[in-house]
Every structure is written in structure tokens, then in C-alpha cells.
Amino acid sequence: MDVMKKVPVREQDPQIRATNFEEVCLGYNQEEAMCEASRCINCRNAQCVKGCPVAIDIPGFISKVKAGEIEEAYQIISHASALPAVCGRVCPQETQCEGKCIRGIKGEPISIGKLERFVADWARENGIVPEGCKEKKGKKVAVIGSGPAGLTCAGDLAKMGYDVTIFEALHEPGGVLVYGIPEFRLPKKAVVAKEIENVKALGVKIETNVVIGKSVTIDQLIEEEGFEAVFIGSGAGLPKFMGIPGENSNGVFSANEYLTRSNLMKSFDPESPTPIMRGKKVAVVGGGNVAMDAARTALRLGAEVHIVYRRSEEELPARVEEVHHAKEEGIIFNLLTNPTEILADEKGWVTGMKCIRMELGEPDESGRRRPVVIPDSEFTMDLDCVIMSLGTSPNPLISSTTEGLETNKWKCIVADEANGKTTKEGVYAGGDAVTGAATVILAMGAGKAAAKGIDEYLSGK
Amino acid sequence: MYEIVKAKELTTNIYLCDVVAPRVAKYCEPGQFVIVRMGEDGERIPLTICDYDREAGLVTIVFQSVGASTMKMAHLKEGDRFHDVVGPLGRPSDLVSEDPETLKKKKILFVAGGVGAAPVYPQVKWLHERGIAADVIVGSKTKDLLILEKEMEAVAGNLYVTTDDGSYGRSGMVTQVIKDLVAEGHQYDVCIAIGPMIMMKFVCLMTKDLNIPTVVSLNPIMVDGTGMCGACRVTVGGKVKFACVDGPEFDGHQVNFDEAMRRQQMYKTEEGRAILKYQEGETHHGGCGNCE
């Protein structure tokens, strides 16, 4: 083997996977994993750990994989992370652990994500569960939202001995892992549900169908239901639209709606009672990971799919791996293109989208070159479906019903990055509800920090 | 799981259920709704709360079986369970936050069409409990489709029942009754109209002419009901609103009803197929040419 190169991971053939919802990446087997693990030089001052928002002991678990002690490797990971099978699949490792890997200076970094995934999958298949806590503290903590931030915070608090209840607004726990990320990237029953079972095995209770701010408020949880601290991990739920003419035509969806129908409601399965539009020619507006997910979903539902993005390929916010997979599957990229109007027939159904071509000008405040309109470059795309994937903003349901909880101008909850502390005593927050839309692992990091913050607060009480 | 403690058919295709949902019953207010799911893979179905009993932890829902999912729901009986009931969703009716003394001075007219009598009822009842008598027009296509007449009678000031075909009560559409009442000298400060989109549209056209501020409750297609998907977006006064969190009640004179009605048709083909499949079961294999 070439020690400078990663052990390649097996994937479903692009042409076959474009027609199914089975997982794209097949993962390592034990032999491949041990081989990949042997590339790790076990740095004394491990940079990879610094790149991990939840600070997994990466050289530690990899050395166990190298020795074939997979169960031990799992216990090392689960000490820091409640969702290793998820993170091994959806973390942007290239900018985190793997981005800092010393091996990566001259060759390819260690495939840390794929190793994490292998360990977590092995543990699941072999019925290994994380070690829980023996001593109970007898104090109740409420966690709002069962996405990555909430699950991590709840898992950590349960390990410390707190009595934790998660409140979930939807009918199924998992948050964005269930409604947002598609089956072909993150299998729901096999992976997500199992990781949630592991969190429950630590003693965490999950109550679904509770919309905090509607069914009950945070103040009522504290005053009437005996919770001594609350963690808000409610995510960034409200979809943005462009505000261009024709956007309410039939056949225009937010990526949130399209993905929720397919992922949470399982509409990709023709047997599901929840319908989804199977377009013939679909444009997905936006260039983030969610846009890639929506595009690849529409493709699997039988459409010709175009990504319409106003900047160039270099600025695409999506992970390189996602863009690469999308291209392999046949998604067409219309870059430096911005929609100006959605066209519809007399019954209100989408027939096309007027667009204008862009070029890159001077850098803006984000440091990326600003897209500028090229005059007289309008053209029309014939389409029957448009999916808007322009990002999301936090849902005001909680902030507007909680006395003393401050938000900033983007309606994000104000919280201390180090410990999740908000402006309201006993209330902590983290994840997209605080930062706006970000990644699974950053939300997990925030959930972890808040669990520590809550423990400090309740220990001093 | 949410147990059904009472289930009955109010009239052809319209059903009532009392469901154990303590969290919803505890804080819900008139104007709000719930989302229910029948089974593990069921569709999320938004339904208005028709009544509630805080102490018993019960909410009453009324639904019309129009699609495959609600047709299945029609078979629910006492002792059965909903897989999920979530709520209360949406904003409470504006009435609830108004000062009862101010409300007492107002002449309020409710207009209910068809199954719209269900969401109108808790509002009229709420007013009645505070000593405020509102006039209520209840319209239905025909006598057999009329619901909640007795219940409404018990809480309304004047109740005017009309049927499109004249088989019961007055004859004609609800808009005709509004016109007649105003011609008879009734004056109204506010009108609250809830029913089929087309009815609300025409009530609003009329009340705009008559200069009566009008509130409508919209029931667009929804998925999550918490503002997450935007399926329920409607244009009100030129601005895009999400009915699930900004509504469901809006200023009827500002609502773009034509767009809202078009958007309601979004999944008509899929719904039609689901109904055929439900009704014909295994015997339906798509040979008819009407479906794939």
C-alpha cells in the first residue's frame, strides 16, 4: 500500500445510485479500517483533536482500530460524541480533524471520518452500547429539540447523572438528521434511530409532539414541571425565499419542505401517504449542502436537475465531497446565474424561470468576490419545479414566548460560546438557534459546552 | 399515543372525535389547530380545534373525509388511538386577547360554511362564556350536511341557518344572508368568516363593499405546522405569510384568495390517486389509464 494515500472507500456506482435512495458510501470493512488506521503516526501533539469541535481522542481510538480492538475504540469515541455513526458520515472532516492531520502535509490525511464511521457501525452491528452513569443527581433538565445539539447535550448531562427530558416538536426525534439530511447520505432507521436509542439507553427521556412556545413555554417548564435548567437546541427552522415575482407558484418549494416531505414523511417511497412533486426538470437555487441534498433527492425522484448559483464553483458553500457526488450523479451546475422571476401558466403552475448571468467583482464583507449582474444577459430556463435553498433563520416561537431571553438582529438567541449561557438564568442554548444555519458537528460542540455549563450551574445551586 | 374517548359521525362524511391530549388541552385557545397522524407512516393532517376540556385533558376535533387519509380516519372508533397529536399550533384568534368590555360593545357576526362551523364554534362559545352574544350564520350545501346546529344555538345570539338548495332554514348562500341581514338594518363591527376558500373569498368581497372588517381562517396545505417548511405560504396585503405561524387568521380583505385556491390544488392528482388506491385496494393496478 501507498502510505501517502487513503485506503479508498467503496461507493455505490453513480449511475445506479442516481435511481435509488440507498446509501452512497459503503464504508470500510475491518481489514480496510485496520489498514487505514496503520497510516496514523500517533502524533504526540495531535492536531486532529484540536480540529474536532467535540475533541474526540482521535489518535487514541485509531490506535485501538490498528490493534483490532474495535469495542475499545468505540468507548473512546463515545466518551466524547453521542453520534459517531452520524458524524462519521456528515462532518466536514476536510476542514476539521483531517484538515489538521500531519499526514496531510505531504500526502493525504488519515481518513478519520471513515474510521469513525466504521467503529460506530461495528459497535451497532455487535450490539455495543455506550457506558452510562451509575450515580443519579436527582435534578431535572429540559432539552428543547432532538437534533445534534440537543442529543449531545442530553447525552452528556445523562452521563453526569442528570434526569433529562428532550422535547421534540415533530413526531420523530432527530431534528435535521431526520427531516433534513437524505437517506442516501444518512440512513434513518439503521443509523439515526440507533444512535438515538443509545442516547435513550443513557436514561434520556424523549417526548415528541411538544412545540415549546405553543404546547408549553420555558417558564412553565421551570415553574410548573420542576425543571431546574433548560437547554435550547431548536435549530434554524424558517426557510428563506428570494422575494422574486412568481415565487408562490405551484411547483416552487423551500428545500426544507422538499426534504421534509422526502426524508421525514418518506414521500420518496410511492407507498407513503404524503405526496411529493416528482418534477421533470427541476432547478435548485443555492449552493450549500442543503441545495446538494435537495438536488440529489429530486434527481432520484426522476428529474433532470440544475443547480442555479450566483457565484462560481469556487464559492460553493457545499462540501467538496457533496459537489463531487452530485456531479457524478448527473446534476447540472448553472453557475454565475441568478433567478429574477418565476414564470407560471394560467393555472399557476411553474413553466420556467427567468435568470440573469453574473460575473465576480470585488470581494464583499464575507471575503468572497461579490457577484455582479452582466447587463442584458437575461435568459429563460424551462422548468416545472423550483426548489429554493437559500438558507434558514431561527424560529421565533421560543424567543418570543420566553421572558428575558435576548436575541440578536438575526433573531438568533444570544448565548456565551464557552458555556451556552443565555441572558436568562438557568437557560442555555446552542446550535443553529444561536449561530444560524451551520453544521451538525458545530451544533454538537455547542451542546457539549452547554452540558458543562449546565453542570457547573446546577452544581453551584 | 393519543386515545380517542368519543367518536361519532355528525353527518355524511363529517366526523367528531374527543382525543386525550393533555398538553394541547391545557393551553389551547379558540382559533388554534392541531396536527394529527393516524399511524407510524401517516400523513400529517392539520385540523382545527373545535372544543376543549382543560381538566379532562381532552380536545375535540371535527373533520370531513375528503382524502385517503381522512377516509381512513373516518373508521376510528372509541378506544382507538392517534399515533400523534401536536399542538396547539397557530396564533389564537384575536378576540381572545381583546378586552371583554370592549368586545361587549361590538356587534360581531360569524359566518360558517360547511365544516367551518367547527372552528367557529369555540370562538362563539368563548364569547358566550363572557356574556357576549354574537350573531352566527351557518351555511351548508344541504340539510344533511349541516353540523353543530344545536351546539351553536346554545351559544350564539341570533343563529341564521341557510342551505344552498333551500332544504332547511333560509335558502341560498351565506353571502345572501349577510346582504339580507344588513338590509334588515343589522350593523356589524366585525365579521369572522370560516369555511371553504371560495366562500371566504365571496364573503370578503361582500363585506368589503359593506365596509365590515373581516377576519378569515385559512387552511392551506401544511407539513410541519411550526414554520419550518413554508408550504402554507399565502400572500396577505402583498406580503408572504406562513399560515401556520403568522395565522391561520388573517385580514380577509388583504388575502390573495385566487393564489391561495391555486396552491390548494397542488397535490390534487396525487390525492386522487391515493383515494382510488384506498377505495379499490389491491384490485386497482393502474390499468384505467388515469394513473401510473
Question: Mean pLDDT of residues grouped by 10 in chain A (461 residues)?
Answer: 90 93 94 95 92 93 96 93 90 91 93 96 91 84 96 94 96 96 94 93 95 95 96 92 95 97 94 92 97 97 96 92 95 97 95 96 84 95 97 88 92 93 95 90 92 94 77
Q: Check CB contact under 8 Å for B226 and A273.
A: no
Q: Check CB contact under 8 Å for A241 and B240.
A: yes
The closest alpha carbon to A359, from A337, A340, A389, belongs to A337
Question: CB neighbours (10 Å) of residue B154?
Answer: 12
Distance CA A152, CA A261 (A): 26
**What pLDDT is stored for residue B290 in this prediction?**
56
Q: Check CB contact under 8 Å for B262 and A348.
A: yes
Question: CB neighbours (10 Å) of residue B144?
Answer: 13
For residue B88, cis peptide bond before it (omega within 30 degrees of 0): yes
pLDDT over 90 (residue B69): no
Q: Return the residue matching grid coordinates 351557518.
A: B138
Choose among A209, A243, A248: nearest Cβ to B85. A209
Residue A412's φ and ψ, nearest 5 degrees, are -80, 145
Q: Check CB contact under 8 Å for B88 and A273.
A: no
pLDDT over 80 (residue B281): no
The closest alpha carbon to A182, from A357, A330, A396, A17, belongs to A17
HSE-up of A321 (CA within 13 Å, CB side)? Answer: 14
pLDDT grade for B288, boundaries at 50, 70 and 90: low
**Which residues is A216 bridged to in the sheet?**
A212
Sort out which chain A residues have CB atoms less than 8 A from B224's CB and list them. Answer: 169-170, 179, 260
What is the average pLDDT across B72-93?
94
Distance CA A269, CA B179 (A): 50
Q: Is A458 left (phi over 0), alpha (psi -120 to 50) or beta?
A: alpha
pLDDT grade for B286, boundaries at 50, 70 and 90: low
Distance CA A247, CA B263 (A): 12
Q: Does A179 touch chain B (CB under 8 A)?
A: yes
CA distance B260 to chain A (A): 9
Sort out which chain B residues have CB atoms less than 8 A from A179's CB and list them. Answer: 224, 228
**What pLDDT is stored for residue B292 in this prediction?**
47
**What pLDDT is stored for residue B269 in this prediction?**
79
Distance CA B172, CA B166 (A): 6
**Maximum pairwise Cα distance, chain B:** 64
**What value of ipTM does the predicted structure carry?**
0.90
What is the average pLDDT across B198-219?
95
Q: Does B246 touch chain A (CB under 8 A)?
A: no
Residue to mutate among A144, A146, A171, A272, with most B CBs inside 10 A, is A171
Distance CA A139, CA A132 (A): 17
**What pLDDT is stored for residue B174 in this prediction?**
94
Choose among A237, A253, A277: nearest Cβ to B228. A237
pLDDT over 60 (residue B214): yes
| Packing angle, helices A193-201 and A148-159, rounded to 10 | 30
pLDDT grade for B252, boundaries at 50, 70 and 90: very high
* Cβ-proximal residues to B102 (8 Å cutoff; 6+ apart), any chain: none
Q: Check CB contact under 8 Å for A254 and B26.
A: no
Sort out which chain A residues have CB atoms less than 8 A from B231's CB and list them. Answer: 253-254, 257
Which helix (H) or strand (E) segment holds residue B33: the answer is strand B33-37
The closest alpha carbon to B193, from B153, B249, B147, belongs to B249
Distance CA B132, CA B104 (A): 6
Beta strands B170-171 and B159-163 are parallel
**What pLDDT is stored for residue B150 in this prediction?**
92
Sort out which chain A residues have CB atoms less than 8 A from B37's CB and list them. Answer: 171
pLDDT grade for B101, boundaries at 50, 70 and 90: confident
Residue to mutate among B73, B224, B233, with most A CBs inside 10 A, is B224
The closest alpha carbon to A242, from A283, A280, A279, A289, belongs to A283
The closest alpha carbon to B219, from B75, B73, B49, belongs to B49
SS3 B69: helix
Q: Return the residue matching grid coordinates 346554545.
A: B154
Residue to mutate among A206, A244, A257, A301, with most B CBs inside 10 A, is A257
Distance CA A413, CA B186 (A): 50
Sort out which chain A residues have CB atoms less than 8 A from B235's CB and list them. Answer: 248
The residue count of chain A comes to 461
